[in-house]
Amino acid sequence: TILVLDFGSQTSHLILRRLRNLGVYCEMLACTTKLKDLPFKPKGIILSGGPSSVYDSVAPHVDPEIFDLGLPILGICYGCQELAWRIDPTNVARGEVREYGHTELKVHNSGDSKIDRLFEGIGSEMDVYMSHFDKLKKLPTDFCIIATSANSEFAGIAHKEKPIFGVQFHPELEHTPRGSEILHNFAINICGANPAWKMENFRAKEIARIRALVGPNDQVLGGVSGGVDSSVAAAVMKEAIGDRFHAILIDNGVMRLNECEQVKETLGEHLGINLTVVNGGELFLSRLKGVTDPEKKRKIIGKTFIDLFQEEAIRIEKEAEAKPDVGPVKYLLQGTLYPDVIESVSYKGPAATIKTHHNVGGLPDTLNLRLIEPLREMFKDEVRAFGRELGIHHDVLMRHPFPGPGLAIRILGEVTPERVELSRRADHIFISEIRAAGIYDDISQAYVAISQDRAVGVQGDARVYGFIAILRAVVTSDFMSATPYEFDWKLIKKISTRILNEVDGITRVTYDMTSKPPGTIEME
């Protein structure tokens, strides 16, 4: 294992990604983690970048004992400055200019292979990405220069005797095209990490971890939605503890056409998960009656979800008490992914639990259940690979995200049973046509919203007054920004015609051309 100590950089998690792509197992912990608290023995340590200045009185610092282990250490950006600052605080200061973006790095060959091995195979020059204001002002004692750039005299440094290295640039970014080679040199050649990490190892390790944690009798509860994360998390729990895992699907009345049936089929029948479907449709719709404000709609749905989930948890708990052969319900399964916990491992320390609680939406506080998060070390594409390992169908794994409040935030204004029906049927046509055209995986998210306003149309010879279907399809890599998908004109015309012909009550079809920003992906 390579240990990454995180100083809170936006890109720290990419270090893990690159290392795992190399087959190297790694874990990230807060930079302030004490050596004595380490849950494993690392082969080497990487100090990440971070937004602070090392000389600031409130700046985060590593446990100085990590330097006494004799382990290889690589400092990246802030991590490099931390190495230098430890040796002498006057080694680091604010630069005259901020160095930001691509720069040409000159690699220095010292002739000593122990010193040169970080850049082994790179040659004399390399394109790198820099993002820093502070810089090394002096070469730390016992170090030598291994790379320079126009603005950084000490863009790469190495200890003359010990396996300690620092780089000012970011090898983890794609903008540093050969950055993976630097991480390969460090992790595999210098630390001697074994590049044998694979998804199968993760499966066995995670199942063993869950079994040890949950014990032979305890039970686990978890909400499922049919989305990728909750489905994969449920599948791994089923494999680990069988029917002591209870999956709960709450039908909130604003799910897509046939969605509950699909979840029953894929999770219940196909994977054999102990699944309970709670029919909350009427309750949700009655509480939403007359409500038009989007935030109020979200809050009502969130609260109703918790109410029903809690009722179910209490019921299962009572049943468990009556059964002599099973123990109490002690854990709540959560499909939290790595990007959700990034904040939690940053140097802010206590943020760990705050963020996790935030994701749970308040459930554990009221239920007194401990969290179990089998996917917390994974990125989305890894979750999909894991799901494939566990036998989950491709269509489930590649599904577009669907928001918790469901169609309710796509039915603009008041959610009425009539417009839920319009939304479901139009959405079904849109998504089916996208699938049939083979472009589902090219689009990040697609749906149909239903307007609050109505428009006149003519059907047969009669004047009709119906609602407007607004088609939305976006392309995005991170859902923070997005652009509208460029449809083939014939296809979008066909979709429009089908919706107008097949869904009574819709008299217009429009396509939403708004990017994010300034728009958002959802309409409400």
Decide: is 515 part of the binding site for ligand XMP (CB under 6 A).
Answer: no
Q: How far is CA 235 from CA 77, 211, 274, 287, in A?
A: 40, 14, 10, 33
Here the tokens at position 488 are 């083939």
Q: Provide the 3-class DSSP secondary structure of residue 406.
A: helix
Q: How many CB atoms lie within 10 A of CB 22?
A: 18
If the CB atoms of residues 497 and 520 are measured against ligand XMP, the closer one turns out to be: 520
Interface with ligand XMP (CB under 6 A), residue from 405, 424, 449, 450: 405
CA distance 401 to 427: 14
**Orientation of helix 294-322 relative to helix 281-288, angle to 10°:** 150
Binding mask 249-288 for ligand XMP (x = CB under 6 A): ----------------------------------------
Interface with ligand XMP (CB under 6 A), residue from 404, 413, 457, 505: 404
Contacts of 176 (CB under 8 A, 6+ apart): 126, 127, 128, 129, 169, 170, 182
- Closest approach of ligand XMP to the CB of residue 284, in Å: 14
Q: Provide the 3-class DSSP secondary structure of residue 204.
A: helix
Measured in residues, the chain has a length of: 524
Q: How many residues bind ligand XMP (CB under 6 A)?
A: 11
DSSP readout, 126-165?
EEEEEEEEEEE-SPPTTEEEEEE-SS-TTSEEEESSSSEE
Decide: is 89 part of the binding site for ligand XMP (CB under 6 A).
Answer: no
If the CB atoms of residues 216 and 517 are measured against ligand XMP, the closer one turns out to be: 517
CB 372 within 8 A of CB 213: yes
Decide: is 215 part of the binding site for ligand XMP (CB under 6 A).
Answer: no
- Closest approach of ligand XMP to the CB of residue 380, in Å: 12
Decide: is 516 part of the binding site for ligand XMP (CB under 6 A).
Answer: yes
Binding mask 439-458 for ligand XMP (x = CB under 6 A): ------x-------------
Q: How far is CA 275 from CA 247, 265, 278, 501, in A?
A: 5, 10, 10, 37
- Closest approach of ligand XMP to the CB of residue 174, in Å: 23
Dihedral class, residue 429 (left if φ above 0, else alpha if ψ from -120 to 50, else beta): alpha
- Closest approach of ligand XMP to the CB of residue 183, in Å: 31
If the CB atoms of residues 95 and 227 are measured against ligand XMP, the closer one turns out to be: 227
Q: Which residues are catalytic?
A: 77, 170, 172
- Closest approach of ligand XMP to the CB of residue 334, in Å: 13
CB 356 within 8 A of CB 167: no
Decide: is 403 part of the binding site for ligand XMP (CB under 6 A).
Answer: yes
- Closest approach of ligand XMP to the CB of residue 447, in Å: 8
Only one of the segments 88-96, 319-327, 429-437, 514-522 lies at the binding site for ligand XMP (rule: CB under 6 A); that segment is 514-522
Binding mask 476-495 for ligand XMP (x = CB under 6 A): ---x----------------
Residues contributing to the annotated binding site for ATP: 225-231
Give the H/E segment covering residue 16: helix 12-21
Interface with ligand XMP (CB under 6 A), residue from 177, 328, 401, 417: 401
Which residue shows structure tokens 């109703």? Answer: 304
Which residue shows structure tokens 């004109």? Answer: 489
Interface with ligand XMP (CB under 6 A), residue from 162, 178, 298, 428: 298
Residues binding ligand XMP (CB under 6 A): 298, 401, 403-405, 445, 479, 516, 520-522
